Chains A and B, each alone.
Chain A
Amino acid sequence: MITILSDNTRQEAGEKLEQKLRERKIEMELIDITDLHVDPCYSCGGCTNKTYGQCIHRDDADTILPKLMRTDVLVMVTPVKWGSYSFKTKRIFDKCAVIGDRHYYSKNGELVKGKIGRVHTLVAVGVKEEWLDEEKRAFKNLVEENIRIMNIRGRVYLADDSNIGDCLETAAEGLSK
């Protein structure tokens, strides 16, 4: 199962990618997060001390997190600001910590953590009208660190006005494998 979380602020890449995957008859769900209300993680410790494994605050993350418990591939389609995920995407990603594996593992001589939910592959599609090379590197590094710390597989795609068609085609091709 593939779940696409798309912050559609100033971009339509999420819908286009959904279209491409549908053409390939791939089982997936697109969740438009643009208008969802997800509160910050307040680092209150409630998910450890009050309701183990569950956030004590009720918001729209309650509809997303159960889906991530059943999805194998998480695709995040996000506008990129200063080499980072968008505010809305990051609010959800921050909350994902509550369904993250709390254990530590050792890989290549370093400590790593585990998966969020049952997600074994993270694909990030960063969207900008135009990229600076340095920002490309920054976003790529960030996603690679995410993949590394969760000890999973993944890819990062950098879409802009000039390459969006080809970029999403390659992403859809990769996801269909």
Chain B
Amino acid sequence: MKKAVIINLSPRKVGTSMMLANRCWEFLLSRDYRVEILHLYPNLKDLSPLFAAINEAESIIMVGPCYINTYPADTVYLLEELEKNQDILHGQCLYAVIQGGMPYVHTHESGLKMMELFARENGLCYNGGFVVGMGAMLNGQPLSKLINGKSTEKKFDRFLENVAKQEDSPATLYHEAQLKMPGLVYCIMAKIMNRKIEKERREKQGDSKKSPYDNHGLDLYHSKKDRTIDC
């Protein structure tokens, strides 16, 4: 029986990254894999459970969110720590999934490139990845809820089929799944989303538009570990 490990690189245990991780988990189970999902953030202080699972697996699937055009900082930390533990890296297949708010592939693709370069330097076999746009809007709901849900589901499952077969998964799959709309539609979308953002701001912040970080001597309301701000 083949073994795979799915690493959830998101700080959230419910959300779009986990939805994708779960879909991947179910798919690999149905292909007779022994597969488990492990979370990065609860293991940040001691990565040994992740290392043990990675050592045993033939395939590693990294699934995470896109923060400012690539995976969060702690993904870099994980990769750096893996690099220091070369004995657990022995040519496993590596696949990467990244999901972010913007509907475009180019916004999130740098994350996949980082995984590819990491794999190459450390003797892993990078077999491709998948980019899911509008992940923030999904907020953990199934892929079918996306405007381009049907097409994304189909392409994502084809990606998972490649993962199961330990074969290369081409970038064309997620490029084909990308939502394609005329510029005017995005213009309207921006207006609608901004109205929602302004409404939320008024409800939460009141009339003041000033950022709390604009205040000299920011009011830190957590009393126990307060630090004095020198600004």
Contact = CB atoms under 8 A, between A and B. Distances in A.
A48 B115 CA distance: 31
Contacts of A111: 102-103, 186, 189-190
A93 B222 contact: no
B173 interface: no
Nearest to A147: B69
Contacts of A138: 110, 113-114, 117
A159 to B, nearest CB: 18
Contacts of B15: 43
B199 to A, nearest CB: 12
A85 B229 CA distance: 27
B228 to A, nearest CB: 10
Contacts, number: 162
Interface string A76-99: 000001111111101101101111
A25 interface: no
B200 interface: yes
Given A81-B76, A87-B76, A94-B68, A106 B187 contact: yes
A149 B205 CA distance: 25
A63 B189 CA distance: 35
B117 A49 contact: no
A65 interface: yes
B110 A145 contact: yes
B46 interface: no
Given A66-B213, A109-B183, 9 more contacts: A49-B204, A63-B230, A82-B79, A96-B68, A103-B193, A104-B194, A106-B187, A108-B183, A111-B186
Interface string B1-37: 0000000001110010000000000000000000000
Given A81-B79, A83-B113, A104-B193, A48 B213 contact: no
Interface of B: 10-12, 15, 41, 44, 65, 67-70, 72-74, 76-77, 79-80, 102-104, 106-107, 109-110, 113-115, 117-118, 121, 182-183, 186-187, 189-190, 193-194, 197, 200-201, 204-205, 211-216, 218, 220-222, 225-227, 229-231
B229 A62 contact: yes
B76 A90 contact: yes
A66 B218 contact: yes
7 contacts: A51-B212, A66-B231, A84-B114, A90-B70, A103-B190, A104-B189, A104-B193
